[in-house]
Amino acid sequence: MAHDDFATEPHRGLDRHLPEGETILWQGQPRAWDLACAAMSLRWVIGYFLLLAAWRGIALGGTEGLEAGLRAVSWYLVAGALTCGIILLGAWVFARTTVYTITSSRVVMRIGAALTVSLNLPYKWIARADLALAKNGSGSIHLDLKGETRFSYLVLWPHVRPWQMRRPQPTLRAIPDARKVAAILGAAAEARVGEITSDLGTDDAAMPAPAGAVAAE
C-alpha cells in the first residue's frame, strides 16, 4: 500500500507551521545525477572502471588472446555498471527525501533517507555562505556557522561541505540554478540583518550571510 511518510507536514519540508510574518521564498531539492557526481564521485568511479577494463583487456589480450581480453573487459564493465547503478539509486533516494527551504527568517533542511532530520538555521547563526557552481548551472551553497554551533558530519552527509570535518558546514547540495538561489538567500539574509539591527538599536547585531558573502568557489 502506498504511504507518504511526509503527509503530516503542515508545509512541504517543514515540520511545523510558519510563525506569523515568516514567508517561504524558495524550496527545492538536489538533482540526483548532480548529487551522485558531486557527493559520491560518480564520474571518478566511471573513469576508474573504464581504465581498469582497458588495462586488463590489453594485458590479458596480449598474453592469453583476444577472447580472454574481451571477457575481462566485459566483467569489469558489468561490475562498473552495477556499482554506478547503486550510486545513482542512493543519490535518487537522498534527493527524493530532501527538501531545502529558504524563508524570510532562516534556512530549513529536511534531510535523511532512513532517519529524517530537520535542521533550522536562523540567519543569525550563519557567518557566510559560499557558492560552488558546476558547468551546467547547478551547484552547492555551503553555510559556515557562527560560534559553537555544530552538527555531526555523518548526520549531515551528503548535505555537507566535503572534507570540512572539524567544522562541518551544512550545504544545500547539487541544486539547479544555484546562482539564482544564492541571490535569494543573500537578499533574505541581508533584509533580516537590517530587521535585527533595527530591533536591537545597535550596530553590533549578529550578522548572517549578506548577499555579498555568496561567492563562487
111-126: pLDDT as tens digits? 987 788 899 999 989 9
Cβ–Cβ < 8 Å for 60, 76: no
Mean pLDDT of 28-32: 95
Distance CA 195, CA 115 (A): 35
Inter-residue contact 91 to 40 (CB < 8 Å):
yes
- Tens digits of residue pLDDT in 161-187: 998 888 999 999 999 999 999 999 999
- 103's grid cell: 524563508
What is the C-alpha separation between 115 and 187, in angstroms, rounded?
32
pTM of the model as a whole: 0.81
User: From the centroid of its chain, how far is CA 83?
Assistant: 21
> Looking at the predicted structure, is the pLDDT value of residue 153 above 60?
yes
- Reading the block at residue 165, the C-alpha cell is 570535518
What is the structure's pLDDT at 216? 39
CA angle 50, 51, 56 (to 5 degrees): 100
CA 203 to chain centre: 33
